[in-house]
Amino acid sequence: MPSRPVAINLPDVIVVGCGAGGAVVAKELAEAGLGVVVLEAGLWHDPAIDFNGLEWDMTNGIDSVFRWGPSDRTKPPWPRIREGLASIPHAAGVGGTTLLSGCNSPRAYPEAVNREWPIPYAELVPYYRRVEAALPVAVADVVTRKDELFIRGCEGSSLPFVAGPDVVGAGWRMQPNAILPVARVAEPLQYPATDGCTQCGECRVGCRHPAGAPLERTAKRSTNASYAPLATATGRCEIRTGCFSTSVITEQTRDGLRARGVRYRDGRGHVLEQDCRVVVLAGGAIESPRLWFASGLPAVPAAGRYLTTHWFEYVSGEFDRPVDISAGQTSMVRAEFPGLGHVETAGLRPLDFALSSFAGRSGVRGGGPWASRGGLIGNALKRKMDAYERSMTLVAGVDDDALAHNGVGLSSETSDENNPAPIIRYRPNAATEARREVLVRKAAEILLAAGARPETVHRADALPSGAHVHGTLRMGSDPGSSVLDDACEAHLVKRLFAADTSVFPNSLGGANPQLTAQALASRTAEKVVERYFG
């Protein structure tokens, strides 16, 4: 990978990171005629060779294919110091964390954007449309049993159907997924006879189906298979893999500080410098602020702050008949609760099911329509796992408040070969906790109305995790409370932009972040061209 490598020696733009946002901004800039170099810390995997569909091997945080760490899997992962977060499952590699993601791709809740963003929701809509068409994003026409049960549960708890994509009221709807349309049954179950999603259930362990498909026709539209190939196909974008950016190079000019290049360490450990006219940070909401600090960029008050995570909760229950929750796309239906967050189905394999559904210990108290809660080990865990094939788990993602005390800083004690390690702190406030309680209750009610046996409904009590991270270099009009302006260019460092989830001023109201990061990245590409290459 890639099939058509190009070398760009004097790039107009360097993009740091090729995940959800980085691949989009790179493709748009290259299509606009600019020379683009993407520096990506990880590899560009070949799904047919590198993905094996095994949960531990693909996704564990220690030595898996998708861990956050050096490409050489015999070396330890890159350290991250967590305070208040149970885990941070991010992937290095072309595709970034979209490699792990379910690619559920809803838009943000309009109310949340209009509440706190420097641009109105309406301004995002054309960019949403553009990305939805390019990926593409669609709802599936054949749903799994877990999703049928979820619909039954929503209807049974009097939740109306709501039409997307711009959601203003509570209700359920089909999940918009960045996954190719469901394929027709064909023999053999192989490309080209089979073209599209085979509902194999491997979204979260790396999509490699249909078997034999070229990268661009693997079903899930993680950016390794969608935007990154589109970017290199322009002939104006080079993706340098195994290249870890260690600092943004700046210079002082009459107009103030401006970015002029990037220092990075390549796969052989050589430290190199690359000049350019514009730098776009897209390393994600932990690595982008880490790079900001490691580069000695201005210590503006909002830098590294206002981290949000959707503080997920998992509610599970057992049914009388098989559910087969590992089949099909991760989630094909969702319930929207603007002002609170969302609830969706979660297609889980046994290990993920055990770890997410029963490994809680948040310490939050309070009763609800669940029979048990918290971490389960021993015989209780084994009985839950005996019922795996008859069980279903729902995930609730809360609209958590963006708070100044939550965020990313640099450790003075721990580092890796690249930079000081990031310290990530997250402590939700009482308002977030209260919203989460209402949302989790709704999830349990849906599960019960779907037919889950009441005595089996279990609430995980999950600690916050870093699967969804946003904020830390937020955009805004006030340099006192934001790092970037409304074009996602740094207030105090000209020619430095960001195009990942770090730019979000809030948690989108609890909606899954990928599509919004991509829509905004597509808008940011336009702003880069307008401001510096027009």
Partner 1 sequence: MPSAGETLRALADTVVPGPPDDPSPGAAAIEAEHFLVHYLEFVEPGLTERVCALLDRLASDRRIDVGFASLARGDRESILREMAEHDLQERRDIASLLTALSIAAVYGEWSGQDAEGNVVRRPLGWELSGWTGPRPGVRSLMRPVSD
Ligand X SMILES: Cc1cc2nc3c(=O)[nH]c(=O)nc-3n(C[C@H](O)[C@H](O)[C@H](O)COP(=O)(O)OP(=O)(O)OC[C@H]3O[C@@H](n4cnc5c(N)ncnc54)[C@H](O)[C@@H]3O)c2cc1C
Q: Which residues bind partner 1 (CB under 8 A)?
A: 52-57, 60, 62-63, 76, 82-83, 86, 141-144, 182-186, 189-190, 194, 198-202, 209-211, 326-328, 349-351, 353-355, 359, 361, 363, 375, 377-379, 381-382, 385-386, 388-389
Q: Which amino acid is at 347?
A: G
Contact (Cβ atoms closer than 8 angstroms) between residue 340 and residue 435: yes
Q: By C-alpha distance, which of 511, 523, 496 is closest to 15?
A: 496
- Taking CA atoms, 378 is separated from 356, 381, 383, 459, in Å, by 16, 5, 9, 17
Query: In the 8-state DSSP scheme, what is residue 179?
Result: B
Nearer of residues 363 and 480 to partner 1, judged by Cβ: 363
Beta carbon of residue 254, minimum distance to ligand X (angstroms, whole number): 30
Beta carbon of residue 519, minimum distance to ligand X (angstroms, whole number): 11
Contact (Cβ atoms closer than 8 angstroms) between residue 93 and residue 224: yes
Nearer of residues 20 and 452 to ligand X, judged by Cβ: 20
Q: Which does 60 bind (CB under 5 to 8 A by kind): partner 1, ligand X, none?
A: partner 1
Q: What are phi and psi of 123, to 5 degrees?
A: -70, -25
Q: Which does 142 bind (CB under 5 to 8 A by kind): partner 1, ligand X, none?
A: partner 1
Beta carbon of residue 380, minimum distance to partner 1 (angstroms, whole number): 10
Nearer of residues 62 and 404 to partner 1, judged by Cβ: 62
Q: By C-alpha distance, which of 43, 328, 100 is closest to 222?
A: 100
Beta carbon of residue 474, minimum distance to ligand X (angstroms, whole number): 13
Report the C-alpha gap between 292 and 422 in whole angstroms. Answer: 11
Q: Which does 79 bind (CB under 5 to 8 A by kind): partner 1, ligand X, none?
A: none
Beta carbon of residue 2, minimum distance to ligand X (angstroms, whole number): 15
Nearer of residues 281 and 448 to ligand X, judged by Cβ: 281
Question: Where do contacts with ligand X occur on this chain (CB under 6 A)?
Answer: 16-22, 39-42, 89-90, 92-93, 96-98, 100-104, 204, 244-245, 282-285, 287, 291, 467-468, 500-501, 512-514, 517
Contact (Cβ atoms closer than 8 angstroms) between residue 499 and residue 280: yes
- Taking CA atoms, 377 is separated from 87, 131, 298, 359, 461, in Å, by 19, 43, 47, 8, 14
Q: By C-alpha distance, which of 482, 37, 473, 502 is closest to 277?
A: 37
Report the C-alpha gap between 308 and 398 in whole angstroms. Answer: 10
Beta carbon of residue 198, minimum distance to partner 1 (angstroms, whole number): 3
Report the C-alpha gap between 291 and 469 in whole angstroms. Answer: 16
The half-sphere exposure of 403 on its side-chain side, counting CA atoms within 13 A, is: 15
Quote the Cα angle for 128-130-132, to 5°: 65
Q: Which does 202 bind (CB under 5 to 8 A by kind): partner 1, ligand X, none?
A: partner 1
Beta carbon of residue 346, minimum distance to ligand X (angstroms, whole number): 9
Beta carbon of residue 174, minimum distance to ligand X (angstroms, whole number): 14
Nearer of residues 28 and 461 to partner 1, judged by Cβ: 461
Residue nearest to ligand X (CB): 19
Beta carbon of residue 371, minimum distance to partner 1 (angstroms, whole number): 19
Nearer of residues 198 and 432 to partner 1, judged by Cβ: 198
The side-by-side arrangement of strands in the sheet containing 256-265 is 244-253, 256-265, 271-275
Nearer of residues 56 and 161 to partner 1, judged by Cβ: 56
Report the C-alpha gap between 507 and 403 in whole angstroms. Answer: 11
Q: Which does 287 bind (CB under 5 to 8 A by kind): partner 1, ligand X, none?
A: ligand X
Q: Which does 504 bind (CB under 5 to 8 A by kind): partner 1, ligand X, none?
A: none
Q: Which does 427 bind (CB under 5 to 8 A by kind): ligand X, partner 1, none?
A: none
Beta carbon of residue 195, minimum distance to ligand X (angstroms, whole number): 23
Tokens of 27: 């493709």
Query: In the 8-state DSSP scheme, what is residue 529?
Result: I
Report the C-alpha gap between 276 and 279 in whole angstroms. Answer: 7
CB atoms within 10 A of CB 227: 31
Q: Which does 377 bind (CB under 5 to 8 A by kind): partner 1, ligand X, none?
A: partner 1
Q: Which does 355 bind (CB under 5 to 8 A by kind): partner 1, ligand X, none?
A: partner 1
Tokens of 368: 């609800």
Contact (Cβ atoms closer than 8 angstroms) between residue 284 and residue 96: yes
Q: Which does 222 bind (CB under 5 to 8 A by kind): partner 1, ligand X, none?
A: none
